[in-house]
Structure 1
Amino acid sequence: MISTSKDYDPIEDITIILAQRESIENIDSLINLTKNYRLKLKNEIEENLMENHNYNMSADEIGMKEIFNNLNKIREISDSTNSNINDFTVNINELDQSKKNLTSSLNFYQNLKILIDCYNDCRVLSHKRSFIAMISSYKIMNSLMENNFIKFKNIDMINQLINNINKLNVEIFDNILNIFKKIINNNNSTLGEEAMSHWEKELKSGACEIIDNNSKEGLKIKLIDEILNKLMYEINEIFQIDDEAGSLENLSRRYIYFKKILNKFNTDYNKFFKVEWKMSIRLTTLFYEKTIKDLQILLKREFSTTNSSSVSTNTVGSKKIDLFMNCMQTTIEFEKYIDVRFSQQLKCDKISKTFEPYLVLWIQYQDKIMKDNMLKYLRMGTSSDSDENQENYTVVPSSADLFRNYRNILRQTIELTGETNSINTNNKGKENENLIKEMSRLFCKWLIEYCNKILYPILIPDNVAIDNKDETIKFTILLINTADYCNTTIKQLQDKIQELTGNDKCNKIFSKLDKVYEEILNKGNKVLMKRIIGSELQFIWREFDNVDWKRILIEDYSRYMVTMRKSMQVHNLETEVTERNENIIDKILKGFNREVYKWNFLDKLIEMISQEFTYHIIKLLLPKPPYGNRPISTTATSTATLKNISMNSIEVNNIGEQLLLDCELLKQTMHSYLKYSNNKKTIDRHITNNIEKIINFIKLLITPVDSSEDYNEAYKRLTKNNHNILIWTMTLALKGVSWDVSIWKQHWSVFYLELSESKNTEGITGTTMKEKDQTKQKIEGTTDLFVYAWNRKQVIEHERNMRALVGSSWRELLSEMGI
Structure 2
Amino acid sequence: MNSFEYNPYDDLRQIFQDPQSIKELPQLLKYINDHKLAVSQQINSDINKFHQSNNDLSGKDILELIQSIETTQTKSQRIQTSIQSITCEISKLDLMKKNLTLSMNIFKRLQILSYSINELNQHLKADYRYKDIFDHLNNTKDLLEFFKPYKSIDEINRLHLVMAKIETKLIDNIFIDFEEILVYHKPSKDLKYACMILELIDDKQKDKLLNWFYNLQLKEIKAIFNNFDEAGSLDNLNRRFIYYNNTLKKMRSENADIFPSSWNIELELSKLFCEITKEDLLAKLNQRKVSSETLLSCLNTTLEFENSLNTALKSTDFTRIISKVFEPYLSIWIGDQDRYLNSKMIEFFSVPKIPPEFQSSTSFSEFENVLKINSIPNISNSSIELFKVYQKILIQALKWSNGKIHLDLANLFNKYLAEYHDRILLPIVNSEQNEANEVNQLESIKYLTMVLNTGDYIINNLDDLYKKFNNIISAQYKGKFNFDNLNHLYLNLINRSMNRLIDLISTDLRFSWRQFENNNWNNNEPSEEVSNYMIDIKGCLTKNCKAILPLIIRESYIRTFCNKVTELVVRDFSNNLKLIKPLSILNIEQITNDINNLKQLIMKLPLYSNPNWDDKTLNDKEKDKSLQFYEKYVDNQFYKLEMLLKLLLTPTLPIDNLVGSYFSLIHDNSIKNFKKFLSLKNLSVLEQRKYIDNFNLQLSLANDDLAEESPIMAILKDDSPGPINTNPSVSNTNSGIISPFPNMSSQAEGSKSPKLKINNLEKNLRELALNSESNINKFNENFKNFGKLFRKDNQNQGHE
**Same-fold status (TM-score > 0.5):** yes
2:590 is aligned with 1:655:
yes
SS at match of 1:242: coil
Distance, in Å, in 2 between the alignment partners of 1:598 and 1:376 is 31
| Cα displacement (A) at 1:286 | 1.2
2:568 is aligned with 1:608: yes
In structure 2, the residue matched to 1:690 is 637
CA contact (8 A) 2:282 2:325 kept: yes
Separation in 2, partners of 1:587, 1:175: 96
Match of 1:618 in 2: 577
| 1:68-91 C-alpha deviation (Å, 9 max, x unpaired) | 544554454345444544555665
Quick one: distance in 1 between partners of 2:292 and 2:503? Answer: 51
Which one-letter code corresponds to 2:596 in the other structure? Answer: L
Partner residue in 2 for 1:701: 648
Structure 1 residues 597 and 244: CA distance shift in structure 2, 3 A: same
Distance change (3 Å), C-alpha of 1:133 and 1:437: same
Q: Which residue of 2 is the match for residue 22 of structure 1?
A: none
Amino acid at match of 1:467: V
Quick one: which amino acid aligns to residue 501 of structure 2?
A: L
What CA distance in whole angstroms lies between the structure 2 residues aligned with 1:337 and 1:459? 54
Match of 2:448 in 1: 476
Task: Give yes or no for the alignment of 1:293 onto 2:279.
Answer: yes
Residue equivalent to 1:794 = 719
Q: What is the TM-score of this pair, normalised by structure 1?
A: 0.63
Q: What is the CA distance between 1:618 and its match in structure 2?
A: 2.3
When residues 467 and 93 of structure 1 are mapped into structure 2, their CA distance, relative to the original with a 3 A threshold, is same
Counterpart among 219, 226, 240 of residue 240 in structure 1: 226
Cα distance, 1:155 vs structure 2? 3.2
Match of 1:141 in 2: 140
| Residue identity in the other structure for 2:388 | D
Q: Report the residue type matching 1:525 in the other structure.
A: M
1:447 aligns with 2:417: yes
Q: Is 1:397 aligned with 2:392?
A: no
C-alpha separation in 1, matches of 2:33 and 2:655: 141
How many residues are aligned here?
A: 644
Change (3 A) 1:748 1:654: farther
Report SS of the residue matched to 1:415: coil
The 5 A counterparts of 1:90-169 are 92-115=90-113, 137-146=136-145, 148-169=146-167
Q: CA deviation at 1:693?
A: 0.7
Shift of 1:400: 0.6
What is the percent sequence identity of the aligned residues?
26
1:162 partner amino acid? H
Superposition pairs of residues 376-775 of structure 1, within 5 angstroms? 377=348, 382=353, 391=376, 394=379, 396-404=383-391, 407-408=394-395, 411=398, 415-417=402-404, 442-456=412-426, 461-463=431-433, 467=439, 472-487=444-459, 517=490, 520-531=493-504, 533-534=505-506, 537-538=509-510, 541=513, 549=521, 550-558=523-531, 561=534, 568=541, 584-585=544-545, 588-615=548-575, 617-618=576-577, 620-621=579-580, 646-647=581-582, 649-666=584-601, 668-669=603-604, 683-703=630-650, 713-719=660-666, 721-725=667-671, 727-728=673-674, 731=677, 734=680, 754-759=698-703
Q: Distance in 1 between matches of 2:520 and 2:286?
A: 89
Deviations 1:460-503 (A, max 9, x none): 82136673766654543343333344456557767858995569
- Superposition RMSD in Å: 5.3
1:588-631 CA distance string (max 9 Å, x none): 4454454553443333333223223334x42532xxxxxxxxxx
What amino acid does structure 2 have at the position aligned with 1:226? W
The C-alpha deviation readout for 1:662-714, integer Å capped at 9, x for no partner, is 35424533575898999978645532321211122223334566766665554
Q: CA distance change for structure 1 residues 324 and 111 in 2, over 3 Å: closer, same or farther?
A: same
Gaps of 5+ in 2: 1-31, 35-47, 356-373, 610-621, 724-800
Aligned equivalents of 1:377, 1:268: Cα separation in 2: 61
Query: Contact (CA 8 Å) 1:652, 1:701: kept in 2 or not?
Result: no
User: Cα 1:298–1:98, aligned 2, differ >3 Å: closer, same or farther?
Assistant: same
Counterpart position of 1:425: none
1:626 is aligned to none
Deviation at 1:560, TM superposition (A): 5.5
* Cα distance between partner residues in 2 of 1:596 and 1:716: 37
Distance 1:355 1:414, change over 3 A: closer
Unaligned 5+ segments in structure 1 are: 1-6, 10-48, 303-315, 418-434, 570-582, 622-645, 765-782, 799-819
- Matched with 1:784 is 709
Separation in structure 2 between the aligned mates of residue 379 and residue 170 of structure 1, nearest angstrom: 83
Equivalent pair of 1:476/1:524 in contact (CA under 8 Å): yes
In the other structure, the counterpart of 1:429 is: none
State the 1:139 CA deviation.
Answer: 4.0
Are 1:281 and 2:280 counterparts?
no
2:618 corresponds to which residue?
A: none
Give the whole-Å Cα distance in 1 for the aligned partners of 2:450 and 2:278.
Answer: 49
TM-score (norm 2): 0.64
3-state secondary structure, aligned to 1:555: coil
Q: 1:557 to 1:700 in 2, by over 3 A?
A: same
Helix, strand or coil at the partner of 2:152: coil
For residue 794 of structure 1, give the secondary structure of its aligned residue in structure 2: coil
CA distance in 2, matches of 1:506, 1:239: 42
Deviations 1:169-214 (A, max 9, x none): 556566666666667658xx987xxx8xxx8xx667x5666666x3
Alpha-carbon distance, 1:261 to partner: 3.4
How far apart are the structure 2 equivalents of 1:746 and 1:373? Answer: 69
Q: Displacement, 1:238?
A: 1.7
| Amino acid in the other structure paired with 1:529 | I
1:223-238 matches, cutoff 5 A: 223-238=209-224
1:740–1:150 distance in 2 versus 1, CA, 3 Å: closer
Q: Closer, same or farther in 2 for the Cα pair 1:688/1:369, shift >3 Å?
A: same
Q: Which moved more, 1:691-700 or 1:744-753?
A: 744-753
In the alignment, is the contact (CA less than 8 A) between 1:565 and 1:665 conserved in 2? no
Task: Name the SS of the counterpart of 2:715 in structure 1.
Answer: helix
Distance 2:295 2:411 in 1: 21
Distance between the aligned counterparts of 1:745 and 1:8, measured in 2? 133
* Residue type of the alignment partner of 1:461: S
Contact 1:394/1:481 (8 A) holds in 2: yes
The SS at the match of 2:582 is: coil
Quick check: 1:484–1:521 contact (8 Å CA) kept in 2?
A: yes
Q: 1:255 to 1:658 in 2, by over 3 A?
A: same
